[in-house]
Structure 1
């Protein structure tokens, strides 16, 4: 396989794509660099549906990266596409009914590479006449992924992160040539700072929350499961949820596979949050369609500390979509304590898998639920333990 970032590709491949607001139907062309709905301020969806099914029997001879599922992607792959060989991570059994997908073996050591490659490729195709710089905000892993793929695409990049972000993650971002802007406060403060800069001319906001191309990258997680399991899916797909990018990508893939007749039934989506920061789980179990408030004020208390820093999101912008996706799948929300996160990290390490404390949340939830488990499930191990070390006691 040749890994390349060929010379500029015309933006024509994006010309027929438009962003659409799921709340009020507003639209904007992808080339506009508009990062949110101008009416309600919410995140975009993408007007895209696969024109043909992914051919399962033909996949074996294809490029060993995310781009092998080209029929399902809003950007065509090919030799010119940005790539670091992302995807195709191993699927291994943990118990008789639960398997783990090792997404911490991605090029930047987290599942965020799936979406980052799509954003970097989109920014590259829009070209230097439109995109002068790329910015992102992150608790660490998404920023690392955006920085790496921008480096591959020769795009200048700035990443806004909370000041308490793991030094190992900020070091990795800087190593890829990106500028790191440390923001006082929590993950929400970093997002607010990035959004303030996102409207500057020539700025491509590589938001893993607001830009739907990221979701069309993360959906390849489920396409890989479908391929690895010989054209089927497990009874349950278990995912950690902060901003919900992996869950919403999984929901996209499941809907596409079902619509095209490639699977007979849809698996349940089981969403996992840290008990310390679990706004979506609270809303779900209260029967709410959205969070009670998404507007921070000066009196808003800081996000409580949790070992699962990567999913400690108090006001996810896509909350209504996340809650609806879980309900429509017949799934549920589970929460895990700090002690359960510590125990799960040590348990996985004893099995030869060193995963960061956010990335073990799903295994922590399944370990607590195992006596009730009567179906097959897959959990993602999303980030490498080398990024954060063992959880402190």
Structure 2
């Protein structure tokens, strides 16, 4: 039996809304939604008995009943990189990035709401993922991207049948254009930043780590952070698993040195992040000068006992080549965590702890950094 999807709630002012009629953001403060959903810690969690996709964690996901959208996403391999460090190969997802975890949840929700079309904004990977899952679900899709977005990524979106709208300006300009369109009737805004269903998809990353490590988590989870969708999903899963008696890890967030509003705020002891200048960096996927969920990201890292690390482009370039030399060709953004804690990182950022880091996007999407 399929029930109504859990509703939205604003963490800032407590506003609540039904997903079937809600605007894309909180109408009071304009901020992103959270989800009025907490899995029952007594619910049976038996992923081995489920399908070979992230829907194997159905008992802790907010969409109940039979799912209609899947490309067998999830269940990606966990491989050793160095002593005490494992990498999770999320670049082996159907569209070659971890964004499939959140996109499948958003598109399944959209399928149930039956909009006239789905709109998204993206610097690349999220847009390709939403386009692919909309194609799978038979939904019309439109993706707004900033000028300069990788042609390989926009070609992938178009191949899936999405209409690609190139917006003059940076990432925020593309987001504003999408939000304006999302205000029209019959449009579902598949925002990987504002819609919390995306976070409940990305949390399956940690559930898979827990499953692959035999019912435990490492001492640290190292996560690249721009808009923070993987880190916030990880924080959700860590909290949910802690209620089941699993020891929570520290969350170590990695930003590009060139665009690091969250790392700067963390170092200053601030609860929110001030916008920074949009500067060029090889890690374009995490170069977000004003993350809408900044307060939540900073709070999650602090609560876990974790920290922020930043990496310069020189280390990103070196880390991408080092991973390729180990048989793992990922895009520069996906090399950020290895740059931060790998053999070229200064000092001992992990302080001897066991850790898992994600390799989030395939190098085929961008090529080798010059």
TM-score band (shorter)?
over 0.9
How far off its partner does 1:289 sit?
0.2
Deviations 1:127-170 (A, max 9, x none): 2xxx1110000010000000000000000000001110000000
Q: Which residue of 1 aligns with 2:188?
A: 204
Determine whether 1:36 maps to 2:25: yes
Q: What is the rounded CA distance, in whole Å, between the counterparts of 2:183 and 2:92 in structure 1?
A: 34
How far off its partner does 1:196 sit?
1.4
Q: What is the rounded CA distance, in whole Å, between the counterparts of 1:175 and 1:72 in structure 2?
A: 33
How far off its partner does 1:189 sit?
1.2
The CA RMSD measured in Å over matched residues stands at 1.4
Q: Residue 213 of structure 2 is aligned with which of 226, 229, 232?
A: 229
Q: Which residue of 2 aligns with 1:59?
A: 47
Q: Residue 121 of structure 1 is aligned with which of 108, 130, 137?
A: 108
| 1:284 and 1:323 in contact (8 A); partners too | yes
Q: Which residue of 1 aligns with 2:258?
A: 276
Determine whether 1:322 maps to 2:312: no
How far off its partner does 1:201 sit?
0.5
| 1:33 and 1:203 in contact (8 A); partners too | no
How far off its partner does 1:53 sit?
4.5
TM-score (norm. length: structure 1): 0.91
Q: What pairs up with 1:307-318 in 2 under 5 angstroms?
A: 307-318=282-293
Q: Which residue of 2 aligns with 1:377?
A: 355
Q: Which residue of 1 aligns with 2:308?
A: 333
Determine whether 1:164 maps to 2:148: yes
Q: What is the rounded CA distance, in whole Å, between the counterparts of 2:348 and 2:336 in structure 1?
A: 18
Residue range with higher mean Cα deviation, 188-197 or 308-317: 188-197
Deviations 1:191-237 (A, max 9, x none): 11111111111110000000000000000000000000000000000
Q: Residue 3 of structure 2 is aligned with which of 5, 13, 16?
A: 13
| 1:67 and 1:77 in contact (8 A); partners too | no
| 2:341 and 2:348 in contact (8 A); partners too | no
| 2:39 and 2:61 in contact (8 A); partners too | yes
Q: Which residue of 2 aligns with 1:134?
A: 118
Q: What pairs up with 1:40-119 in 2 under 5 angstroms?
A: 40-53=29-42, 55=44, 58-76=46-64, 78=66, 80-119=67-106
Cα 1:192–1:28 shift into 2, 3 Å: same
Cα 1:24–1:74 shift into 2, 3 Å: same
Determine whether 1:389 maps to 2:364: no
| 1:53 and 1:72 in contact (8 A); partners too | no
Residue range with higher mean Cα deviation, 107-116 or 33-42: 33-42
Aligned residue for 1:334, secondary structure, equals strand
Cα 1:53–1:109 shift into 2, 3 Å: farther
| 1:133 and 1:155 in contact (8 A); partners too | yes
Cα 1:101–1:369 shift into 2, 3 Å: farther
Aligned residue for 2:332, secondary structure, equals coil
Cα 1:259–1:369 shift into 2, 3 Å: farther
Q: Which residue of 2 aligns with 1:25?
A: 14
Residue range with higher mean Cα deviation, 203-212 or 25-34: 25-34
How far off its partner does 1:54 sit?
6.0
Structure 1: which 5+ residue stretches go unaligned? 1-9, 294-299
Moved over 3 A (4+): 52-56, 369-373
| 2:226 and 2:288 in contact (8 A); partners too | yes
| 2:53 and 2:73 in contact (8 A); partners too | yes
Q: What is the rounded CA distance, in whole Å, between the counterparts of 1:177 and 1:304 in structure 2?
A: 32
Q: What is the rounded CA distance, in whole Å, between the counterparts of 1:180 and 1:230 in structure 2?
A: 42
Cα 1:362–1:221 shift into 2, 3 Å: same
Cα 1:27–1:237 shift into 2, 3 Å: same
Q: What is the rounded CA distance, in whole Å, between the counterparts of 2:340 and 2:4 in structure 1?
A: 40
